[in-house]
Amino acid sequence: MFTGIVTDVGKVEEIEERPGGDRRLRISASYDPASLEIGCSIACAGACLTVIEFAPRDGGVQFLVEASNETLQQTSLGGWKVGTRVNLERALAMGTELGGHLVTGHVDGLAEVVERRPDGDSERFVFRVPEKLAPYIAGKGSVALDGTSLTVNECGRLDFGVNFIPHTLTVTTWGERQVGDRINLEIDLLARYVARLMEFKD
């Protein structure tokens, strides 16, 4: 479980193709190696991945994760290259301040950036979403985009807007995002269960 508060920006250092279509990704980060252990979870651009190997490096750590063919098909991970910068978050620990909203790290689909423009000191992004996910997004509700907990400003039928403050643009990969980029989207956990409950209401 995560909060959608990005704690580091990592970089893909190596990609290894595996038999059957899976990939192993070696990612560098500034985390303290002593704080990691084999089997721990790290949200990489919002996708929960398991650390299967790690080693210290100057100023941090390199860790190895494995992405299944399913993950590569359903998220942006399939398009990552060596050098891709990635929002990272360690798993939520008991007693940790919950600064965002509850995020599982299970990506529901991909949103597309269709507009980016200045809005005061912030930047306004507009995203288009697949029709099957649009009903789960509501104005003033929460979404996780590339692992970042965000508040929806307004939404149309298949699109919605979000404002990014300068701090978020600086400490995450959002400052680099452009129109046409495809973004990992996780809908709000509560919306998912309310929708499922409504299926059985009648």
CATH fold of the domain at 8-90? Elongation Factor Tu (Ef-tu); domain 3 (2.40.30)
Alpha helices in the chain (DSSP H): 69-74, 166-171, 189-199
CA–CA separation, 55 and 9 (whole Å): 17
CA–CA separation, 10 and 34 (whole Å): 17
Residue 111's pLDDT is what? 98
- Taking only the tens place, the pLDDT of each residue in 113-123 is 999 999 999 99
Closest to 128 (Cα-Cα) out of 115, 147, 141, 140:
115
Domains 8-90 and 109-199 share a fold: yes
Closest to 157 (Cα-Cα) out of 179, 178, 126, 181:
126
Q: Is 198 helix (H, G, I), strand (E, B) or coil?
A: helix
| Residues 6 or more apart whose Cβ sits within 8 Å of residue 180 | 112, 113
CA–CA separation, 42 and 45 (whole Å): 9
Decide yes or no: CATH 3.10.20.90 for domain 109-199: no
Residue 92's pLDDT is what? 85
Can you list the positions of beta strands (E) in the chain? Answer: 8-17, 23-29, 41-44, 47-57, 60-67, 85-90, 109-119, 122-128, 142-145, 148-151, 154-155, 159-164, 182-187
| Residues 6 or more apart whose Cβ sits within 8 Å of residue 165 | 121, 122
Residue 140's pLDDT is what? 92
> C-alpha angle 71/158/79, rounded to 5°?
30
Residue 202's pLDDT is what? 63
Residues in the chain predicted with pLDDT less than 50, given as ranges, are none
CA–CA separation, 99 and 123 (whole Å): 21
Domain spans of the chain, in order of start: 8-90, 109-199
- Taking only the tens place, the pLDDT of each residue in 66-89 is 999 999 999 999 999 999 999 999
Q: Give the global pTM.
A: 0.90
